[in-house]
Amino acid sequence: MNNIFTSDPGLVVVNYGGGISPKQSVHWAEPTQIFLKRSLDVILSLLVVVFIFSWLFPVIAILIKASSPGPLLFKQLRHGRDNVPFYCYKFRTMKVNDTADTQQAVRNDPRVTRVGAFLRRSSLDELPQFINVLKGEMSIVGPRPHAVKMNEVFSEEIENFMLRHAVKPGITGLAQSRGFRGETADFYDIHSRCKLDLFYIKHWSILLDLQIIFWTPISLVMKNQRAY
């Protein structure tokens, strides 16, 4: 399966996921590769939860609670594999507001708390998503999930945008590891991310996942201009 498109115009083939029907139903294949990816997800997630999350969680919890009233975690409905919605977890970085699901954070956003700004720049707000990974809703590496309402907008602007959901969404992805993170300010941003996501799906391998995991912290330090 070297080509993302087959001779059948009604079927899109992905490297480790099988195929997508015209109605966006995913037909899984290559169980060995899926088992390897899931094993990597579970092993790395357990290591993070045991050795990092276990002591960092209470520290972040105290800081969030001290910064503003509201819940510790923020959960948002996002599209997962096969376009099935799921609740994605994050540490709450904003004051409680009614626009979190429809309005992206922008520079100097008054909704973002001081503690939240640090968590967003460092991506520590994403740590609870390792729970999503252990639940099987996400992978460590994959296309980043967007809020359902935002996907409705993006899918009207970008052809084949929803094909990103042929695989599980990721805590990080090829687009994020190459500097496309934070606010999607214009068409170029979202188009570039979608293009890299589809490239990832087509060329997936365990080695590529490991490369993206290696590239991600470098990107956090070197390409952090839009993490706000």
**Tens of pLDDT, residues 73-128:** 999 999 998 889 999 999 999 999 988 877 888 888 899 999 999 999 999 999 99
- Please report whether residue 208 resides in a domain: yes
- Please report whether residue 2 resides in a domain: no
- Kindly report the pTM of this predicted structure: 0.84
Phi, psi for 85 (deg, rounded to 5) = -70, 150
- Please report whether residue 163 resides in a domain: yes
- Please report whether residue 6 resides in a domain: no
Query: CB-based burial of residue 13 (10 Å sphere; 0-12 exposed, 13-18 middle, 19+ buried)?
Result: buried
Mean pLDDT of 6-31: 49
**Tens of pLDDT, residues 117-175:** 999 999 999 999 999 999 999 999 999 998 888 888 888 888 888 888 888 999 999 99
Strands 170-172 and 139-141: parallel
Higher-confidence residue of 60 and 226: namely: 60
Q: How many domains, the chain? A: 1
- Please report whether residue 203 resides in a domain: yes
Alpha-carbon gap, residue 180 to 200, rounded angstroms = 14
Give the domain extent around 93: 12-222
- Please report whether residue 228 resides in a domain: no
- Please report whether residue 18 resides in a domain: yes
- Please report whether residue 185 resides in a domain: yes
